């Protein structure tokens, strides 16, 4: 399922007759807290019982939520994909101050 953040744009070159697909994606990073995904090692209960039992790597993603934030100083509503910690930061410090510090305004 494609969202508006990662739609495939097709650019057709008329002169060469070549079709090029450009993938527009945004990284899964919170713009306020800079949280992103991590690669973590799996650890099973079998590892505790034996000398060595590899379990492989697991990618852990940040808890990102799509939120509509109203900024009263600008009298605007902004839609952002931010982490849950950033939501708490906005509630504590205010929307305008937090977004200005992050460089989003």
pLDDT value at position 27?
Answer: 72
User: What average pLDDT does range 41-57 have in this prediction?
Assistant: 69
How many domains, in total, are found in the chain?
A: 1
Q: Regarding predicted confidence, which is higher, 23 or 28? A: 28
Helix (H, G, I), strand (E, B) or coil at 78: strand
Considering the entire predicted model, what is its pTM? Answer: 0.66
Q: Which CATH number fits the domain that encloses residue 52?
A: 2.30.170.40
Whole-number pLDDT of residue 13: 33
For CA atoms 69, 73, 76, 80, the dihedral sign is negative
CA dihedral 91, 86, 76, 4 (to 10 degrees): -150
Higher pLDDT, 15 or 57: 57
Q: Which residue has the higher pLDDT, 83 or 1?
A: 83
Domain that holds residue 66: 4-102
What DSSP string runs through 28-44? S--TTT----EEEE---
């Amino acid at each position: 399922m494609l969202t508006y953040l990662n739609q495939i744009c097709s650019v057709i070159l008329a002169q060469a007759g070549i079709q090029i697909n450009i993938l527009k994606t945004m990284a899964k990073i919170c713009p306020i807290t800079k949280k992103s995904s991590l690669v973590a090692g799996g650890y099973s209960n079998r590892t505790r019982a034996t000398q060595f039992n590899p379990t492989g790597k697991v990618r852990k993603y940040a808890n990102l939520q799509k939120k509509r934030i109203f900024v009263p100083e600008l009298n605007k509503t902004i839609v952002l994909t931010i982490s849950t910690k950033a939501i708490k930061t906005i509630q504590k410090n205010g929307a305008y101050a937090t977004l200005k510090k992050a460089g989003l305004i």
